A and B are shown apart, each in its own frame.
Chain A
């Protein structure tokens, strides 16, 4: 089954404690991206990747890092999380262009 998986689905952490949210797709897609969704703000793109070792910033990259060492994986790293990064995060992939397959989301709370 074609899918994008994210882990964990729910995470509560404290300010400053480094965390990684994993994203994996099984469709051999070149394009992957991360978004955060906040009430009243819709979705905002954090980072995207056009292929292995090729990444670029979206609209809200501050406080986040990504890496694309393998085609299937695109982890989102928060080196020092802060409460304003409390949000619902989505990973997405597509063969090219607009994201077509979205993961189920990761709800992150930073205390």
Chain B
């Protein structure tokens, strides 16, 4: 069975500082990996996804993530954050299937990123 661990429940940073949100996964097969963002009182938005190919994935709003198979990690990074990046971030995993898609998705418990002025 697949699982996801987000190592930090809260990450406070100052505006314009770099940030890394950590995510580790567990699976016995190949995986697809995702990061979602949830702004206060809203639904989720897909930030980026890794399906195959380059291990460095670029997403929306200047975020990127790197898939590291040996460390079973998929950490999310941004070189300079803004106040507007304050939100909860969720890492998710699904097991790779034929045809390039799999529908059973397991989420981590989330990391609350708070950007302070």
Contact = CB atoms under 8 A, between A and B. Distances in A.
B17 interface: no
Contacts of A74: none
Contact of B43 (A56, A97, A104): A104
Given A41-B109, A42-B109, A43-B90, A100 B46 contact: yes
A97 B104 contact: no
Interface residues of A, number: 26
Nearest to B34: A98
Interface string B73-117: 000000000000000001010100000111111111110000000
Contact of B104 (A45, A103, A104): A45
A48 B49 contact: no
A97 B110 contact: no
B94 A44 contact: no
Contacts of B42: 104-105
Given A50-B103, A56-B104, A99-B44, 4 more contacts: A4-B43, A90-B43, A92-B44, A97-B101
27 contacts: A35-B107, A42-B90, A42-B108, A42-B110, A43-B90, A45-B107, A48-B105, A56-B103, A58-B105, A59-B106, A90-B44, A92-B43, A92-B44, A96-B101, A97-B51, A97-B101, A98-B32, A98-B46, A98-B92, A98-B94, A99-B44, A99-B46, A102-B44, A102-B45, A104-B42, A104-B43, A105-B43
